[in-house]
Structure formats: structure tokens, C-alpha cells
Amino acid sequence: MKVMVILGSSSDMPVAEKCTALLSQLGIEHGLHIASAHRTPDEVKKLAEGPSDVFIAIAGLAAALPGVVAAHTIKPVIGVPVAAKLEGLDALLSIMQMPPGIPVATVGIDRGDNAAILAAEIIAVTDKAVAKKLVEYRAQMREKVIKEDRELRK
């Protein structure tokens, strides 16, 4: 399993779906689990100690999940704050402010898609096939903007 996506709650599924859809599009093997940092800490630990190369932890409110995953692995952890309360700022700050030595890469609020891209970029360092798909993905984004601009000017 290259990427493990962990949700703190089933209510985070819309954010996770953006993430897993893009991982699938890029052909990156991934898993998806719900595990709470507070209610199922043993399950979180078991997942974090698993064979995945990169972890994406999606959480709102106190948003402890990414930090707990990071505490149990030396592999990259990407935190995705969810706009559950306070427009997601509470979760964003919780994920960003990790203590020294236990970093969590943090993407924008509800940006499961950017978490997938960051995970793909990490994997692409050693996987040429994923690197090629990222280049193609960026070319598609570029073409979409050019097409939208042409339509706007008509």
C-alpha cells in the first residue's frame, strides 16, 4: 500500500473522496480507514505502523489525528484540516503547530485533492511512472485554464 488515508470520522468522507479520486486517477495504490485519535487510538497506532509509504490524515475540530499518526511513524504524514467548526481554522492550527521533531505537512482546509497531489509528489521522487502521471495531470490543468480563457474571450 503506497498511501493510507485515515479519516477521524465518517463525516470527513467528502474531503476523503476528493483525495481518493485523485489518487485513483494517478494510479496510486491506496487504502481508506476511519480511526479516531481519541476513540480508537490503538487502531490509529496499528495503521501508522503499517507498510504504507505516505499517510494522509483527515480531521476536524481538535484535529489530533495527523499528529498521532506522525508520533507512530517516521514516514511522511500529510494532514488535511476539515471545516467542522470555526471554518476549519481550529483544525488548521492544530495540525500546523506540531512540536519539534514530529512534523506534519499541512494542506489547506478541506483540500483532500492537494493532499493526494503532495503524496504523489513524495512518491514520484522514486517512482518514474507516478512522476509521469503528475506531469500529465499538470498539463491537463493548464489546458483547462487555456480553454476556459478562450471561451471567456468569445
What is the pTM for the complete model shown? 0.95
Side chain identity at residue 23, one-letter code? L
Cell of 21: 479520486
Cell of 13: 468522507
Structural domains of the chain, ranges and CATH numbers in brackets: 3-153 (3.40.50.1970)
State the DSSP H helix or E strand holding residue 94, giving kind and residue range, or none if neither. helix 89-96
Q: Is the dihedral of CA 85, 45, 122, 4 positive or negative?
A: negative
**135 C-beta neighbours (distance < 10 Å), count:** 11
Q: Residue 55 forms beta bridges with which residues?
A: 4, 77
Work out whether strand 3-7 and strand 77-82 pair parallel, antiparallel, or are unpaired. unpaired
**What is the C-alpha R_g of the chain?**
16
Angle at 65 between CA 44 and CA 60, to 5 degrees: 135
Can you give the pLDDT of all 154 residues of the chain as single tens digits? 799 999 999 999 999 999 999 999 999 999 999 999 999 999 999 999 999 999 999 999 989 999 999 999 999 999 999 999 999 999 999 999 999 999 999 999 999 999 999 999 999 999 999 999 999 999 999 999 999 999 999 8
